[in-house]
Structure 1
């Protein structure tokens, strides 16, 4: 009979990846935590367990992302359900969340009359995907309501499931549509926000990375604008001033080599206090600008 130890010893996967998949199967089949990989490593496994392991192992060997295999991914302070219909949240995007939280806290600190038991601030997440940015903000800052948009109904379905599972649905609204056009479903096209965040498709259409690694399995429309990589970023930046309150902040994620172009676009759109921000790898990954007061 197979055991956890024998599967780990015999797998062709890197050991860290194998442990992630096995931990997922332990939770499903035996209702055991990850620590059981050590404490129950000689437990004999059922045929159903081994059969599913063999299937998932092969899918990973074929290149499918682990996040899709186990159906979840940790992001910031939350865990999200993910699937082939959405981009897999990445650590680089947590920089956007941290910048957004700093902006919201700054507004709270500057408004002594703000009642912390009420949701007095609002934020827009354009192209929410799994809901990563919107839900991480809502989970970390109870004093904000969030509007999250996406052009994909499949993505919004996953985001709404994540919101319900995290018990954040009462503070997050979801709108189907392209960028600011999705706000029409709110019944007020002149909605203004304290904060706009977005991680839009910014990979150039001919970038070879699109045919490598996890990107091969993720939805192309969440990765590339099928052009220069700057089309969606330009649309978001050009429309942001009209949808921000005075002093409101826009922050967008972009490619490691796109910072100069994005900063220039922010200046042309009339933003002030324009700043580039590095990710943990030292790459310029996010650009932000503030609407004049």
Structure 2
């Protein structure tokens, strides 16, 4: 029986909808573009084309993976974040749109050097360096596999020469001082993990939770930031929805000034920033 690309899209949409996937038609088209090797624009013009057996098989497997709630980025191997496309694997946290609030906040200030703690895919620091042609940075992660993904993304964006990648437990292997320190650390409390969406079960647990109250990483980051910020340098971190006051208090206790809680585009607390004294 002849099967068109449009038939695969329709079948995929129905299966994804039955599995409770939000916006199933859009996701079915993304999967179809991936398995067929067509761009989204070209796919729209070729929906009446006959799908080869290999495309039919790949689409069936891709839809099954998404119905099992595997993140889309893991299936297609990439994720759009800010202005760029990033390679994503199960070794790194899937970059989320709300994290762009951290990038936007950092770009409000002048800086020439940046440290990204717990870089994962490298989405934050590489987005920042792409906007500042003369800046350089250092990205750390405890996971060698995550650093491999970040290095691949740096190479793809032509930023490898301006971004050192080092394995480090927060500041343990970091030397020198920076104009800006950024981080999206694991901030989900252990008792919140069972209530999260099924997609998160596919992401590295170490990037999601500290196994405690969700503030462990912030304590380490705020405590160590003073020794690695230039006078007047900024620390900026992403937070969970209820963590603003607690993280702001940690920054003030560490001696940072001008501490503020910033919202994301949906108006929810998302970033806490503080400045080292001059």
TM-score interval (norm. to shorter): over 0.9
Q: C-alpha displacement at 1:148, in angstroms? A: 0.2
Q: How does 1:270-289 map to 2 (within 5 A)?
A: 270-289=255-274
2:85 alignment partner in structure 1: 79
Residue of 116, 133, 144 corresponding to 2:135: 144
1:10 aligns with 2:11: yes
1:1-293 equivalences under 5 Å are 1-11=2-12, 12-13=15-16, 14-27=24-37, 32-104=38-110, 107=111, 121-183=112-174, 189=175, 191-208=176-193, 211-293=196-278
Of 125-134 and 95-104, the range deviating more from structure 2: 95-104
CA distance in 2, matches of 1:292, 1:208: 37
Contact conserved, 1:103 with 1:195, CA < 8 A, in 2?
no
> Kindly tell me: are residues 211 and 154 of structure 1, through their superposed partners in 2, closer, same or farther at Cα, counting changes over 3 Å?
same
Q: Matched residue of 1:228: which SS?
A: coil
Q: Work out the CA distance in 2 between the residues paired with 1:82 and 1:270.
A: 36
Kindly tell me the number of residue pairs found equivalent between the two proteins. 268
For residue 182 of structure 1, report the CA deviation from its aligned partner. 2.7
C-alpha separation between the residues in 2 aligned to 1:89 and 1:210? Answer: 20
Note the C-alpha offset of 1:212: 2.3
| Superposition RMSD in Å | 1.2
- TM (norm. structure 2) is 0.94
Paired residue secondary structure (1:179): coil
Please state whether the residue corresponding to 2:241 is helix, strand or coil.
coil
TM-score with structure 1 length normalisation?
0.89
Q: CA deviation at 1:138?
A: 1.0
CA contact (8 A) 1:204 1:227 kept: yes
Secondary structure, counterpart of 1:181 in structure 2:
coil
- CA-to-aligned-CA distance 1:17-66 (integer Å, 9 cap, x gap): 10111111232xxxx32122321001111111111110010010111000
